[in-house]
Structure 1
Amino acid sequence: MLTISVVGEQDLAELAPMLRGYCDFYEVDPSDDKLAAMSRALIENPDEGVQLIARTDGGTAGIAVGFATIFWTWQTLYAARVGVLNDLYVTPQSRGSGTGRALIAHGLQLCRDRGAEKLVWETAPDNATAQRLYDGIGAEKSTWLTYELDAR
């Protein structure tokens, strides 16, 4: 049994190692201070986005086993609000337990609650484990490529 809730200040100590694990997986190294600042910014302004934390049975006393970050925006091509599932991470020992599916389902419900028409996300082309999850829940692959420029 899992409990999923929106991250609050009291969750940051448990969230931090999962944020680091997520960054390590993608071989990036933002500082712990910057990661905490991002989480606090979302706690302070949930209209920008939310982070979810999944725990094993026991509610806030349970063991943290995953997180997701959803940012709120608009998509012109749909002429609608969307939730962007920017991060999805499940601890290695909990993978395959349904935690990822539960976090996505919770995020989809948050989209419905906010009037967002879609939950969208991307993953690395070589992340086969994540792609099996996404294919298994009936998500549709996009034909879009992602580009980026540094703004610094």
Structure 2
Amino acid sequence: MNIRPIEINDYSRWFDLWQAYLAFYTVELSDEVTQKVWERLMNEDDKDLYGLVCEDEDHVIGFTHYFFHGTTWFDSSYCYLEDLFVEQSVRARGAGRALINGVKEQAQTHGAAKLYWHTDKQNETAQGLYNKVADLTDFIRYDIALKP
């Protein structure tokens, strides 16, 4: 397996995997939001969203999106892994772990103090991996939906 930064030529495969990811979480996003995500991934001039893909025999089988943000607890940034998805038919072969390690390497290179993420409490399959590669914290997340 090969982990590398997402590239413009990955769009078609990324789009298919992105749609499968959204379906997994039963989320519908407008075409405009999906296009904006892609544009942010590709924007090298004002980078605020990064992406990696996992290839197996030159075929993209998964992706992850992540970004850096400031924190008041350290003099460097945190890295937040926002999305991670691996094609259903190739799960449990190491792609998820490889993608997490890829983000971890990028976070270390960037000088981030921490890499963290959330997952759905029902996603026990993912939690099986996450419990092996990270520490489960006691924090509880609260959301307030805002309309732009």
- 2:122 counterpart of 1:126: yes
Indicate the larger mover: 38-47 or 121-130: 38-47
TM, length-normalised to structure 2: 0.91
Change (3 A) 1:75 1:151: same
How far off its partner does 1:78 sit?
4.1
Unaligned stretches of 5+ in structure 1? none
Distance of 2:146 and 2:124 partners within structure 1: 30
TM, length-normalised to structure 1: 0.89
Q: Is the 8 A contact 1:47 1:72 kept in 2?
A: no
Q: Is the 8 A contact 1:9 1:40 kept in 2?
A: no
What amino acid sits opposite 1:21 in the alignment? A
Indicate the larger mover: 13-22 or 36-45: 36-45
Q: Is the 8 A contact 1:72 1:84 kept in 2?
A: yes
Aligned residues: 146
Residue 16 of structure 2 is matched in structure 1 by 17
- 2:82 counterpart of 1:86: yes
Q: Is the 8 A contact 2:40 2:49 kept in 1?
A: no
CA-to-partner distance for each residue in 1:33-71, whole Å, 9 max, x for gaps? 4213212112104631201111112xxxx1111000011
Instruction: Give 4+ residue runs of structure 1 displaced > 4 Å after superposition.
Output: none
RMSD in angstroms over aligned alpha carbons?
1.4
Q: Give runs of aligned pairs for residues 11-90 of structure 1, distance below 5 A.
A: 11-45=10-44, 47-57=47-57, 62-90=58-86
How far off its partner does 1:76 sit?
2.1
Distance of 1:101 and 1:93 partners within structure 2: 16
Q: Is the 8 A contact 1:86 1:122 kept in 2?
A: yes
CA-to-partner distance for each residue in 1:57-98, whole Å, 9 max, x for gaps? 2xxxx1111000011112223453111000110100110010
Q: Is the 8 A contact 1:86 1:121 kept in 2?
A: yes
Distance of 2:31 and 2:59 partners within structure 1: 21
Indicate the larger mover: 96-105 or 16-25: 16-25
